[in-house]
Amino acid sequence: MRGLAFRDRRQAGRLLAEELHAYAGRDALVLGLPRGGVPVAYEVARGLGAPLDVYMVRKLGVPGHEELAFGAIARGGTHVIDQALVSRLELSLEELQAVERKERRELERRERLYRADRPALALADRTIVLVDDGLATGSSMLAGALDVAKQRPRRTIIAVPVAPPSTCAALRRVVSEVVCLTAPRQLRSVGSWYRDFAQVRDEEVRYLLESADAWRADA
């Protein structure tokens, strides 16, 4: 895939599943980071014959410039903060707390929406494969990985189609393995590595989770 774009998230997921084939038929559990990571994770789960679940994380955006993340939170309470960025932008504690409260509410809303009456799958003593559609700074993935670690999995693997080498190197310090299909030194944006990078809607996330439950039940 070097220098080429992925067709879409589903194709990227199938390619990731090929790289992760050693975990097929074992105790793997695939967790997609919503929303864009879920279509990728769906294909990984199908390829490995593994259960699929969603793992909620939220980026914490700088007030007035929300596309710029100063950190991230995960559903279990973990949060990571880029202290250097916070200091450089002179963000106050009150501003940080207001953003975190807002994003925590949205995280909880989406958790209820996506999960409905599906209980979260147990992570203890499992091989956890955390999947997203790509990483830039990796703050959301880091929050998710640290949060998962609290639940004592056997090992945690981060699997993404694209991420810069520096982000992959940082994440390797906190998980068992990082699988990345392509690692450009200059990542303009994750979306630039996809021909089709249409926004993933909440309805698609729910549909994929329900579909994964159905084919697992029939297997």
For the chain, what are the domain ranges? Answer: 9-56+122-218, 59-113
pLDDT band at 120 (very low <50, low <70, confident <90, very high): confident
For residue 165, give the amino acid letter: P
Q: What pLDDT is recorded for position 3?
A: 47
Residue with tokens 């992959």: 168
Query: Given a cut of 90, is residue 185 above it in pLDDT?
Result: no
Q: What pLDDT is recorded for position 115?
A: 85
Q: Is the dihedral of CA 167, 169, 175, 181 positive or negative?
A: positive
Query: Given a cut of 60, is residue 217 above it in pLDDT?
Result: no
Share of the chain above pLDDT 90, in %: 83
Query: Given a cut of 70, is residue 60 above it in pLDDT?
Result: yes
Query: Given a cut of 90, is residue 67 above it in pLDDT?
Result: no
Range 18-41 average pLDDT: 94
What's phi and psi for 195, nearest 5 deg?
Answer: -70, -40
Query: So what CATH class is 9-56+122-218?
Result: alpha beta
**Closest-CA residue to 182 (of 171, 173, 193, 191):** 193
C-alpha to C-alpha distance for 65 and 62, rounded to whole angstroms = 5
Q: What pLDDT is recorded for position 66?
A: 85
